[in-house]
Amino acid sequence: MFGHSVKLFDLFGFEIKIDASWLLIAALIVWSLSSGYFPQVLPDLTTTAYLALSVVAMLGLFASLILHELAHSLVARRYGLGIGGITLFLFGGVAELVEEPRDAASEFWIAIAGPAMSFLLSGLFGLAALAFGGVGLVGIVLAYLATINLVLAVFNLIPAFPLDGGRVLRAWLWRRSGNVLEATRKASGAGTVLAIGLMALGLFSALSGGGIGGAWLVLIGFFVLNASRGAYQRLMVQESLKGRRVAELMTADPWTASPEMTLADVADRIMLAHAVSFVPVVAGGVAVGYVDAQLMRAIPREEWPAQTVADVMAPLDDACVVPPRMTAEEALKLLAEGPHRKLIVAEGRQLRGVLSLRDLMGHIRVVQALGRGASPR
């Protein structure tokens, strides 16, 4: 999800990471506070003092976001879910769940934990600010952190996926209907409405002279829109493949080549004759490699009659050979993240079939056509 994140430290067994995009929001916060907020509430200080206060407030927000996501993570771990880490990025923070919650109850408690932490922090910062009389350097910074945590909690409770409130809504719909996909669809729909509203408000603000504030609302709207739709699509794929094994979705008994065949024979008698671009190589009943259109193109066409499959075939490795019992979800992840776009299905080295992304997507499309994400099983 995050391509430029850097690990900072471990907290309660979770990796705390920061994405490069967080530096932008951190700089904007410091600039906004030092040039606007603190000069208004604490006049007559030096520029250096305003800058120092702004950095302290930004770090307080940084810690607050980590604690917000830590609350999600601790509850998720309590329910046996894996957490890939906590990452701060352009639009805040995220606890990276390795898997989706298994039931509505765990979804609810995981979702509500973050806003509950933010409300708690708001109260604690507020009490601390009162202890300082709400004035002075320390009191003003504490009051700011109390306010920003309250805003964070309230905003996250908006019932629009993927915000925490949207996850609470999904948990409620899931509990009522028993259908997580339908619940996600409705919660994502609310997220889409919120996203469009934010983008419209931001555009209006920008055209009315709102400047960076309007542009920021548009960016947040785009983020919410992509996140809500992406979450629904991922869950739809997951539900469509649930319970399926590679053996059920692969192309069984594929066309194969022998090591001694020439590339011209492979092209004419297999690839062109049967409209396939990926051909496993079998010797003595055992899969030993493969040739595909990409490998063929790397060899000048005039050399195809003299070149044999053994000369150019790619050897098999663990990234391209999978067992028939592997789940379809695992195979999809391997295809999406690995170097290969087709997988050889084998038991030991006995060829059983070939699985491609097209096989998986074809199954998903059929399941969706039969009923929104409803698996035949």
Structural element, H or E, at residue 290: strand 286-292
User: Which of 69, 96, 107, 239 is the catalytic position?
Assistant: 69
Residue 137 and residue 124: Cα distance in Å, rounded?
Answer: 17
Residue found by looking up tokens 């098999």 in the block: 316
Residue 268 and residue 232: Cα distance in Å, rounded?
Answer: 43
Residues 96, 236, 193, 208: is their CA dihedral positive or negative?
positive
First to last CA, the chain: 31
Q: Which two tokens stand for residue 301?
A: 């066409």
With beta carbons less than 8 A apart as the criterion, state whether 215 and 347 touch. no
Residue 242 and residue 298: Cα distance in Å, rounded?
Answer: 39
With beta carbons less than 8 A apart as the criterion, state whether 83 and 77 touch. yes
C-alpha closest to that of 157 among 197, 119, 122: 119
Residue 121 and residue 173: Cα distance in Å, rounded?
Answer: 29
C-alpha closest to that of 88 among 69, 73, 74: 69
C-alpha closest to that of 100 among 234, 227, 241: 234
303 included as an active-site residue: no
Helix ranges (H only) for the chain are 22-32, 38-41, 47-78, 104-131, 136-156, 164-177, 180-207, 212-241, 246-249, 263-265, 272-274, 293-297, 309-312, 328-337, 357-370
Helix ranges (H only) for 33-46 are 38-41
CB atoms within 10 A of CB 325: 10
Q: Which residues are catalytic?
A: 69
